[in-house]
Structure 1
């Protein structure tokens, strides 16, 4: 919740020499104004605007710097999330570090901050304890409909860090928790779609790691389907690369593997993903050198 600068409001009223009754006349009851000034109970927007107009106050003056800070924070998180999904981890980290978590009062923004920070920490090779502590900031909050996706992302991140530490039993515990719920998650906007793709892709990578290739392929093909349905290209290359790796593990035909590699290369070129293109070149060379 954004804090209104009630002190500024009261100061303006007193500067004009108005009592609560005089200010409220024709706009609202004195009791409504009193509840606002004394208890912080904000009247509806129409009443608040009329009161401010009588005091020659703009709404901006009641939200000092909060509106600007909020929008800047959201913009930074949007950019950081985009950098995260496009594997530009240093840029994402720089943006997250520039945000003061203590200045954020919206719970969903706080949860988003911790989810982004946790994933960035994974890719920047932070310690297990630091990463788990970061994801705990999400999981220890009371679950709501709005926070549900961030909890799933936290479980995914914990599964990823246990995978990184080669503790696959613990990792599978968390990825299984995610799989129980992600298929039914209703994405409401593009950011939600990115998050669902992130989860589905990371699950696909994990199940390939433990040689559950049927599950992995199904998840990765689901990710491709989400990308196609929502005109999102950023995960197409990554999903196609992992499908190619799975095909290599399964000793699929050279033609099928190369087809997956060529698909992934096309997606990577669209997104100018140099990291993926280098990886694909190595994969292709290995396949072509097979007898």
Structure 2
């Protein structure tokens, strides 16, 4: 609450504290509000604001503006993360002051994004898992939201980086079960409860995990699920990466060359439509390795 705005307006109107309080509250109440930030009752604060031509919303406008700005930054970072643009996500997240985030939904989103980014750029496990513990042990301790599932994915990716696949399996099995449950729910195309981009994040990385484990059939099924969801919901951020992963799987499954080439062309087209230069570059590397018969496992889409 911008108390300074209140004080400045009162002084601008040359209204003393004594006159300001008349018929509303004691001078002590006003003094404690102005000097110590002790907010009076809603009725009293409304009357005080009215006396100097302000509303309570006027006092909260800066905080609301700041919250809206943080929300925009986090949403932008989430889209960038979906496209694999980790450098830009790092810049966006680093520009946000963690201490300025008050609303719990924004705090959860912030810890998810920072934790996931740190997992993907191979930061130390204790750094990654700290952010996810904020979600799993505090902000969503009942694990009711999709953010707990996203924290599982990030934790699983961290263990993949450390070659601890049994621990990674624990998390990805949980996430795979969650995906199945979500897809079985009857929901309309415009159901606001369903966060499609986050669900696609779960699907994509779980498909990637199963591909690493050479469970290519399960991976392919998840890829198809993801692409269908992209089509139905008109969410295209993950399409280039899903097509890229499908091409990788097809190569490892020794599919016909025309089929593999078709998938790579589709990945390139979707990358162009989404302005995803990162996948375009990785496709060139994939083509080169495919032509030379080299291993593909370290090419994260």
Same fold (TM over 0.5): yes
Identify the match of residue 115 of structure 1 among 101, 112, 119. 112
8 Å CA contact retained: 1:111, 1:147: no
Aligned pairs for 1:1-291 (under 5 A) are 5=3, 8=6, 15=17, 17=19, 19=21, 22-23=23-24, 43=42, 52-63=49-60, 65-141=62-138, 143=140, 148-185=145-182, 192-287=195-290
Displacement, 1:250? Answer: 1.4
C-alpha distance in 2 between matches for 1:189 and 1:42: 35
* Residues 1:42 and 1:151: Cα distance change in structure 2 (over 3 Å): farther
C-alpha distance in 1 between matches for 2:237 and 2:101: 29
TM-score (norm 2): 0.78
8 Å CA contact retained: 1:118, 1:131: yes
Aligned-residue CA RMSD in angstroms?
Answer: 3.4
Residues 82-121 of structure 1, C-alpha deviation per residue, up to 9 Å, x if partnerless? Answer: 2211222122112212212122211111111100101111
* Residues 1:266 and 1:70: Cα distance change in structure 2 (over 3 Å): same
8 Å CA contact retained: 1:254, 1:287: no
8 Å CA contact retained: 2:20, 2:48: no
TM-score (norm 1): 0.80
Q: Which runs of 5+ in 1 are unaligned?
A: 25-32
Instruction: State how many pairs are aligned.
Output: 275
* Residues 1:277 and 1:189: Cα distance change in structure 2 (over 3 Å): farther
Partner of 2:299: none
Displacement, 1:140? Answer: 0.8
C-alpha distance in 2 between matches for 1:251 and 1:140: 44
